[in-house]
Amino acid sequence: MTFEEISRRSQAAFEPFTAMIFFAPEAFAHFKALGLRGRQSYFCGRSAALGRLPGQAVAATFYNFNPAFVIEQVNGGWAVTTPEAVLQARTTAVSEALQRLLDPAEGEEDLNGKVEQALPLIKKATAGLPVPGRTLFAGHAALPWPEEPRAALWHGVNLLREYRGDGHIAALMSEGIDGLESILLQAAYSHRIPLPFLTRSRAWDVPAVHAGEVRLAERGLLQDGNLTEKGQAVREHIEDITDRLDTQPFEKLGVEASQELINLIGGLSQRIEARGGLNLRGTTNQSQPSQS
């Protein structure tokens, strides 16, 4: 198995473990207590590691969202709270949510041992990764590791999520695909999440979506909402680039340890999904084969 193949397999295994925080009632409660409302929680929660940046700067890191919407949400959020308070609230919420989602009910396997086994692997995989061009990863890599084991593991897996996401943006830009176009291609490529949900949750209106479809059709990538042969090749090429830019964490571990880490986190993700830890209705989650 190549490290590119390991990278792609890891994304599917890791995503539920990290993305659960975007759906967790614990997170909503803690962020609401800080004065954050609606999607301010998502944008401020995920960008707080960068400090109190203006919305214009944060919008650059949330590639497939309407920048005007990101700017509004971020600037509104930082008017009522601070990045330090948001980061503390998120760490607390992660611990509480993972306790609820992972602690065994009667007759269930105790998965806490998987957390302890995965922690040294995730710390090795994330140690010393290069930060140039990887803004969200760099911000989170500068944060201290939480002491509580489940929160620490979430922090480490989230580092890999942001590392891959930053690389995915680079891949999209290398192919001249803008944020809205990336959604249109993604919906046609995977069929996992309906296009209306993707565009609505990223705050793109109907005229903007239509204009994006026209641009992609003129390039021969999309026709009547479906990928053309050329569009399929371009989208697969983007995913291949994303995989290639994401191999360093797994090269640090080696094939065997990488597969062990994927299996450990994958087991935790399965428990989270089985307990309803992911719910697409009304969320701003950016989950995609490669998030941007």
- pLDDT on residue 107: 82
pLDDT digits (tens, 9 = 90+) for 98-131: 999 999 888 888 898 999 999 999 999 999 999 9
Question: Taking Cα atoms as reference points, which of 27, 166, 168 lies closest to residue 101?
Answer: 27
- pLDDT on residue 190: 85
pLDDT of residue 285 exceeding 80: no
pLDDT of residue 280 exceeding 70: no
β-strand partners of 227? 222
- pLDDT on residue 292: 55
Q: How far apart (Å, rounded) are the C-alpha atoms in residues 189 and 185? A: 6
pLDDT of residue 230 exceeding 70: yes
Q: Which of 61-70, 97-106, 177-186 is the least confident region?
A: 97-106
Between 152 and 292, residue with greater pLDDT? 152
274: amino acid identity, one letter: A
List C-alpha distances in Å: 44 to 128, 178, 273: 26, 23, 25
- pLDDT on residue 89: 98
Question: What does pTM read for this prediction?
Answer: 0.93
Q: Which of 52-61, 135-144, 192-201 is the least confident region?
A: 192-201
Q: Whole-number mean pLDDT of the chain?
A: 93
pLDDT of residue 288 exceeding 90: no
Total residues belonging to the chain: 292
Residue 283: pLDDT band (50, 70, 90) is very low
pLDDT of residue 286 exceeding 80: no
Cβ(57)–Cβ(75) under 8 Å? no
- pLDDT on residue 291: 52
CA dihedral over 118, 121, 124, 130, signed as positive or negative: negative
Q: What percent of the chain has pLDDT over 90?
A: 90
Q: Which of 45-54, 97-106, 121-130, 141-150 is the least confident region?
A: 97-106
186: amino acid identity, one letter: Q
Cβ(131)–Cβ(137) under 8 Å? yes
Residue 191: pLDDT band (50, 70, 90) is confident
| Helices within the chain (DSSP H only) | 3-19, 25-33, 40-47, 55-59, 67-78, 83-102, 112-126, 135-141, 149-174, 179-190, 195-201, 206-218, 229-244, 248-253, 255-274
